[in-house]
Structure 1
Amino acid sequence: MSGNTLAMARAARGAGQPAGLLPTAVVLAVLAALTFFLSGYQLFQLTTAIAYGIAILGLVILTGYTGQISLGHGAFYAIGAYVTAILMSVYDVPYWATLPVSAVVCAIFGLLLGFPALRLGGLYLALTTFGLAVALPQLLKHPLLQDWTGGVQGIVITKPDPPAWLKLTPDQWLYLFSLAVAAVLFVLARNLLRGRIGRAFIAVRDHPLAAEAMGIDIAMVKTGAFAVSALYTGIAGSLGAIAVQFVAPDSFGVFLSIALFVGLVVGGVGTIGGALFGALFIVFVPNVAADISKAAPDAVYGAILIAVMFVMPAGVAGTLGRLLARRS
């Protein structure tokens, strides 16, 4: 390829980057503008959806890109929430400073869980992580940890106030803070998964023997994916705890892990943007189901879930991507 052709290719890539960033900037601007049009409760719901979206993004990295099925990510969400609650209530640490601590703690737990995952796969790994989700709430109630976790009573934390120079309510500030954190994490995930590490994840998922023959360290890739996934989910748990202002063992039961997995599948297993669609589904659809039928909301929720999977088997983001590809 000639020098002129290379220069034209570089120019074309550089010209395409701002255009590619424009839709993301528009979406962020619209989401930020909602701060001034929605009620405090509606902003609380969106803040919760943002936290769940970050947790589901962790599952996208683990399951969608490396093929490791986890039904226990609610445990990492709980660990992140408790780290933030303990630091804020006992040690008076600022809420924003608890996020990196939760990230590191959950990454370590994810790394430790990643080692036994090397010998397991498929349904066996799913069952192992499910056991973690079942056991953790009981461990949080154990007398040896009660002084830290508050036992069955849990821990109450205070919702952070906005900076004095901002004329915002606590709900508005927490929503914008969570949105900013999510934007950074989604950009980092996009760069990670579209780079060399992301290609290694996909190679290990699709052709492990070929990946190993190419020199990819499968053990390092799998354990690293678990650590990164747990890191994201831990930060999500921290944001969720700050929004709810309360943590208790029964808040992090098995249903939370199942709900996160449902959000992963509904949004699109291998899509980054699908994490947001999945989060919106698990936050708002149960409310819609309860409004439709007070007597059997779970039946309505199940019917809606079946209908969504029937119409969009590739998930919301996957289906939208295919439709846009056909139009172009």
Structure 2
Amino acid sequence: MSAIEDITSQAPAVAAVPKRAMTLSSGTTFVIVLLLMVVPLFVKNFIIFQMTMLLIYGLAVLALNILTGGSGQFSLGNSAFYAVGAYTSAILMEQYNVNYALTLPVAGVVCFGAGFLFGQPALRLSGVYLALATFALATAMPQILKLGFFEPWTGGVQGLVVTKPDAPFGLPMSQDMWLYYFTLVITIAIYIFSVNLLRSRSGRAFMAIRDNEIAASAMGIDVATYKTLAFGVSAGITGVAGGLGAIAVQFVAPDSYTIVLAISLFLGMVVGGVGWLPGSFIGSAFIIFVPNIAEGISKGLSGAVFGILLFLIIFLVPHGARQVAMVAQQLLNKVRKS
């Protein structure tokens, strides 16, 4: 028996991904979507803005989850694609008077291309070396955006102010509320796309590469194509999130997209559960609200309090929110049987 045949015989077959492995039940999903639609009607604009940012960061974390949880490629550079998407939307809106909704697919396509191209040289790297390469990308991006060559478009160090859109058709709602529902629709669409992607043949190829790259190649999977495709898809979704973030915050500047953002997105993925798509939004809530909670406990030691809270979460639930959801499901099943 040849070496390739031996590897192939030992590698488990790539089965279709179970629905519960990547998403919630239809009933739970319906309740969550209903709450997301109703809650903004009863809260202040600031809370609506925070909910909008939760969805936006959730999309960025979901994109990273597809790359890392789906294809097994570690990245600390998604903040760079977030920045490119944000600047693409901001420049198109403020300098070319393009409708804000039309800037988002452009941002997604631009970032998909950038991610696909970056994935080509990254094929030579894996593990910690790939993480370091993407770390370098995230570190370099803010400095690139400050270059004088790009200043006529990016505004240099000063950045660009973005106009927040009004509700169309004279709808009686605030700018924040309209943008929230606009973001919610896009989030649901991308979430459905992501779930279907991971269930598809391409998604199974991603996960085969994640589990055993050599065995995946032996089974006929074009490893190079699917790895670069995963980078492109992840970057594209991150670019759309960046564009939405620019519109919501109404401002883009190089120092808003530093390595801190990249680490925050990676942290959100770990807290939510690597490979579990609903956990992306739980991780997003963590990186948005927990720092505020830590500051409320102690303003002078907010960083230390945040670190302790993070340590406790990782220690108690090392698999993140996905582990909590699995335990809750087991308890619920026991209650139903009794």
TM-score by length of 2: 0.90
1:132 aligns with 2:142: no
Alpha-carbon displacement from aligned partner over 1:109-138 (angstroms, at most 9, x marks no partner) = 000111111100000000000000100000
- For 1:272, the equivalent position in structure 2 comes to 277
C-alpha distance in 2 between matches for 1:319 and 1:269: 13
C-alpha distance in 2 between matches for 1:322 and 1:222: 33
C-alpha distance in 1 between matches for 2:240 and 2:227: 20
Residue 20 to residue 313, structure 1, CA distance change in 2 (3 Å): closer
C-alpha distance in 1 between matches for 2:323 and 2:102: 36
- For 2:198, the equivalent position in structure 1 comes to 193
- Is contact 1:271–1:318 with CA below 8 Å preserved after alignment? no
Q: CA deviation at 1:167?
A: 1.0
Match of 2:326 among 315, 321, 324: 321
C-alpha distance in 1 between matches for 2:261 and 2:25: 34
Give the alignment of 1:136-285 within 5 angstroms: 136-285=141-290
Q: CA deviation at 1:21?
A: 2.6
SS at structure 1 position matched to 2:303: helix
- For 1:294, the equivalent position in structure 2 comes to 299
4+ residue runs of structure 1 moved beyond 2 angstroms?
19-23, 325-328
- Is contact 1:106–1:231 with CA below 8 Å preserved after alignment? yes
- Is contact 1:162–1:170 with CA below 8 Å preserved after alignment? yes
Match of 1:311 among 298, 316, 319: 316
**1:82 is aligned with what amino acid?**
Y
Q: CA deviation at 1:197?
A: 1.4
Unaligned runs of 5+ in 2: 1-23, 334-338
Q: CA deviation at 1:20?
A: 4.3
TM-score by length of 1: 0.92
- For 1:7, the equivalent position in structure 2 comes to none
- Is contact 1:81–1:239 with CA below 8 Å preserved after alignment? yes
Q: How many pairs does the alignment contain?
A: 310
1:39 aligns with 2:44: yes
Q: CA deviation at 1:163?
A: 1.2
Q: CA deviation at 1:250?
A: 0.5
SS at structure 2 position matched to 1:269: coil
Q: CA deviation at 1:310?
A: 1.1
C-alpha distance in 1 between matches for 2:326 and 2:238: 25
C-alpha distance in 1 between matches for 2:178 and 2:264: 27
Residue identity over aligned pairs, in percent, reads: 51
Match of 1:21 among 14, 17, 26: 26
Q: CA deviation at 1:172?
A: 0.5
Q: CA deviation at 1:185?
A: 0.4
Alpha-carbon displacement from aligned partner over 1:66-125 (angstroms, at most 9, x marks no partner) = 110000100000000000000000001111100000000000000011111110000000
1:105 aligns with 2:147: no
**1:209 is aligned with what amino acid?**
I
- For 2:19, the equivalent position in structure 1 comes to none
C-alpha distance in 2 between matches for 1:207 and 1:125: 17
Q: CA deviation at 1:29?
A: 1.1
- For 1:73, the equivalent position in structure 2 comes to 78
Alpha-carbon displacement from aligned partner over 1:235-294 (angstroms, at most 9, x marks no partner) = 000111100000000111110000000001000011000100000000111111111111
**1:57 is aligned with what amino acid?**
L
- Is contact 1:274–1:318 with CA below 8 Å preserved after alignment? no
Alpha-carbon displacement from aligned partner over 1:23-69 (angstroms, at most 9, x marks no partner) = 22221111010111111111111111111000000111000111100
SS at structure 1 position matched to 2:169: coil
- Is contact 1:277–1:317 with CA below 8 Å preserved after alignment? no
**2:102 is aligned with what amino acid?**
A
**2:314 is aligned with what amino acid?**
M
Unaligned runs of 5+ in 1: 1-18
SS at structure 2 position matched to 1:318: helix
SS at structure 2 position matched to 1:164: helix
- For 1:58, the equivalent position in structure 2 comes to 63
- Is contact 1:137–1:253 with CA below 8 Å preserved after alignment? yes
Q: CA deviation at 1:326?
A: 5.5
